[in-house]
Amino acid sequence: MTCHLETDADPAMDLPPSVKPWRESVHGKSAVGCFHCHGGDPTLEDDEEAMSGRRGFVGVPPAEFFPGLCGRCHAGALREVRAGAHPGMTENPAVGTNCTECHGYHEIRRR
């Protein structure tokens, strides 16, 4: 399975709307793939098995996952967020610790 990405080789197939913003994001350019955030196993041929709970597929991650999900790779930022010391939190305390409220998710750019 190619995690939706090679589908643009086939113009008859619609790309899911998440692909374009992701591809232009800092993650798309840094080899952080769909499966890093959504789970699943993109090396499997069988789509159903690749996107199964057995393979760790989480579908759309619920909001309470975000700090830990993002923090797996951004440990420093997670520590700052937990300490209330991350940029933006002091100007915007109402947002809390939800990374995606401030950064978005598919379209994340370098700041």
For ligand HEC, the binding residue among 1, 50, 51, 81 (CB under 6 A) is 81
DSSP string, 30-77: GT--HHHHH-S-TT-S-HHHHTSGGGT--SS--GGGHHHHHHTT-HHH
Q: Between residues 44 and 102, which has the closer beta carbon with respect to ligand HEC? A: 102
Query: Of 1, 38, 40, 50, which one interacts with ligand HEC (CB under 6 A)?
Result: 38
Question: Angle CA(31)–CA(75)–CA(101) in degrees, nearest 5?
Answer: 80
Closest to 3 in 3D by CA, of 48, 35, 36: 35
Nearer to ligand HEC, 5 or 49 (CB): 5
Binding stretches for ligand HEC (CB under 6 A): 4, 16, 18-19, 22, 26-27, 30, 32, 34, 36-38, 60-61, 66-67, 69-74, 76-78, 81, 86-89, 92, 95, 97-103, 105-106, 108, 110-111
